[in-house]
Amino acid sequence: MKILINIGHPAHVHLFKNMIKNLEEKGNIIKIVTRDKDVTLELLNAYGLEYEVISGYYNTIHGKIYDFIKTDLKLLKIAIESKPDMLIGVGDPYVAHVGKLVGKPSIVFTDTEDAKLANVLTFPFASVICTPSCFKEDLGRKHVRYNGYHELAYLHPNYFKPDENVLDFLKSENDRIIIVRFISWSASHDIGLRGIKSRTDFIRTLENYGRVFITSEGKLDKNLEKYRITIPPEKIHSLLYYADLYIGEGGTMAAEAAILGTPSIHIESTSKGIATGELSGNFIELRDKYGLLYFYPDQNKALEKAIEILENGNSKKEWQRKRERLLSEKIDVTAWMTDFIERYPDSFYEYMKRRRVSGKNVF
């Protein structure tokens, strides 16, 4: 089977990398196209994945519209030439549109309820929409739920083994590690949202409790540049695993830290001052069911919780126990994706039949 996969974000590289390996080992031919965003190309190179760049990244509305049309047309041309049997993406209008135009199924994964524009442009055209079981919305007859999270496709112990060498830069084994994430706020789903207002004061407060390392999508002020993480991007999950706290604006990294058993705090709000975590099924489940993640609309409340966690010497051990419970209750998402895609459409029909007979709507 020929499969065309579109990767639009660094997190998508992680999501699909193990599935791609599994599918190729089973004799399938994978064509990867990608957007040049953040460290996406670095990650693809690090994992030895061949790809073709079909779009860049634009910060302005006009630039995004131009890129949207250009990418749709370029992906259509590639699909006509390569003749894939299936197209796959994450919250991806391009694979949904092109799949419809060339008459091939498109399987779209998403875990982001509040990506309103992308969802409106994608869902009506996709053949199947796969989400975590905790996804808050019912997307109808095309909706397939699985008992896991995107992040478990690459952070499950079957695939992820932390590398202790990432700690070689620490001055002593007693150094506490605090990772902070700043985002650019230029993505379509970030329009109207807010995060950390006073970055310098924020970092100075955290610095009283450990060594602060910043990962940022964009430029940093000169006084913050010294905190920037300099390790290769494919090593960031190992550092997250050993960290004592993650706090920041990046939703994906917040979920990653939580699933790795690291205390995690997400800071983001709507224009009305509502924490965006309240809009996300996976964030709510990670907080309410597993106690692994907190989210707040402003940095003051988030810092209060951060200090409480850092002053508790047992926090890391507590989070590791919570992680073990989560892993015991969730599936190997990569194994599930591999099976679902390779056996499609039979896998989809089985899911629909099971849902009709048992009333259960989760794989």
Q: In which band, very low, low, confident or very high, does the pLDDT at 270 lie, cut at 50, 70 and 90? A: confident
Q: What is the pLDDT of residues 24-54, one digit of tens each?
A: 999 999 999 999 988 999 999 999 999 999 9
CA distance 310 to 303: 10
Q: Residue 188: its pLDDT value, please?
A: 47
Q: In which band, very low, low, confident or very high, does the pLDDT at 213 lie, cut at 50, 70 and 90? A: very high
Greater model confidence, 28 or 360: 28
The mean per-residue pLDDT over the stretch 212-240 comes to 92
Torsion angle (degrees, nearest 10) of CA 126, 348, 363, 264: -20
Q: Residue 195: its pLDDT value, please?
A: 76
Lowest mean pLDDT of 151-160, 294-303, 320-329, 352-361, name the range.
352-361
- pLDDT at residue 61 tops 90: no
Q: What is the pLDDT of residues 307-355, one digit of tens each?
A: 999 999 999 999 999 999 999 999 999 999 999 999 999 999 999 988 8
Q: What is the pLDDT of residues 167-198, one digit of tens each?
A: 887 755 668 999 999 986 445 444 545 778 88
Q: In which band, very low, low, confident or very high, does the pLDDT at 273 lie, cut at 50, 70 and 90? A: confident
Q: Residue 351: its pLDDT value, please?
A: 92
- pLDDT at residue 301 tops 50: yes
Other Cβ atoms within 10 Å of 53 Cβ, number: 13
Q: Residue 189: its pLDDT value, please?
A: 46
Q: In which band, very low, low, confident or very high, does the pLDDT at 64 lie, cut at 50, 70 and 90? A: confident
Q: Residue 123: its pLDDT value, please?
A: 97
Q: Residue 193: its pLDDT value, please?
A: 59
Lowest mean pLDDT of 82-96, 140-154, 344-358, name the range.
344-358
Q: Residue 218: its pLDDT value, please?
A: 79
Nearest to 228, CA basis, from 238, 219, 215:
215
Where are the extended beta strands (E) located within 226-316?
245-248, 264-267, 293-296
How is residue 226 written in tokens? Answer: 């010294």
CA distance 143 to 75: 24
List Cα–Cα distances, 133 to 52, 112, 123, in angstroms: 32, 12, 17
C-beta separation of 269 from 194 below 8 A: yes
Other Cβ atoms within 10 Å of 283 Cβ, number: 26
- pLDDT at residue 57 tops 80: no
C-beta separation of 43 from 32 below 8 A: no
- pLDDT at residue 59 tops 80: no
The mean per-residue pLDDT over the stretch 233-246 comes to 96
Greater model confidence, 149 or 172: 149
Beta bridge partners of 128: 107
- pLDDT at residue 119 tops 70: yes
Residue % of the chain over a pLDDT of 70: 94
Which position has the token pair 């990867």? 32
Q: What is the mean pLDDT of the chain?
A: 92
List Cα–Cα distances, 304 to 209, 262, 275, 315, in angstroms: 13, 17, 16, 15
